[in-house]
């Protein structure tokens, strides 16, 4: 979508994705090698009673789900900011996540682009919010 096709208050809902134990441990091994993501026995003794996904993985999945809607398509130039990130609830193996995206800000630029700011809210299969954050991207006009 071009910049002028977005409007404040516009809401999109993504498809869902299931987070597997293998995806959690694979992501964590490479990007967030902490025990609560990798060591099932030790994680069971902790506050989450088992392995959980890295918050960074939850954020990345939220972004992936949004991008896969195709709304930016070939019109995206680049991401410019991520703000106000909150990891609200743990994500467990076999949780099914989807993201609700609301356009919260638009700013026209002089170079044939505009910035689009969206609020990402990611929910599990119980409709519990697990993540939220703000994303701003530069889009062609």
The structural domain count of the chain equals: 1
Summarised one tens digit per residue, pLDDT across range 17-64 is 999 999 999 999 999 999 999 999 999 999 999 999 999 999 999 999
- What is the domain extent for residue 114? 3-140
Looking up residue 34, the CATH number of its domain turns out to be: 3.10.129.10
Burial class (CB in 10 A: 0-12, 13-18, 19+), 135: buried
Say how far residue 40 (Cα) sits from the centre of its chain.
Answer: 25
The whole-number average pLDDT for the span 77-81 is: 97
| 114 pLDDT higher than 90 | yes
> 119: pLDDT confidence band, cut at 50, 70 and 90?
very high
């Amino acid at each position: 979508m071009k910049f002028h096709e977005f409007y404040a208050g516009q809401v999109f809902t993504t498809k869902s994705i299931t987070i597997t134990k293998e995806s959690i441990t694979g992501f964590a091994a490479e990007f967030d090698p902490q025990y609560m993501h990798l060591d099932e026995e030790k994680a069971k003794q902790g506050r989450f009673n088992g392995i959980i996904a890295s918050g960074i993985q939850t954020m990345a999945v939220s972004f992936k789900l949004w991008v896969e809607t195709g709304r930016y398509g070939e019109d995206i130039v680049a991401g410019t900011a991520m703000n106000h990130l909150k990891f609200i609830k743990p994500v467990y193996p076999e949780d099914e996540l989807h993201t609700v995206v609301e356009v919260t800000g638009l700013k026209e630029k002089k170079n044939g682009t505009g910035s689009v700011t969206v609020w990402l809210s990611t929910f599990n299969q119980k409709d519990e919010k697990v993540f939220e954050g703000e994303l701003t991207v530069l889009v062609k006009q």
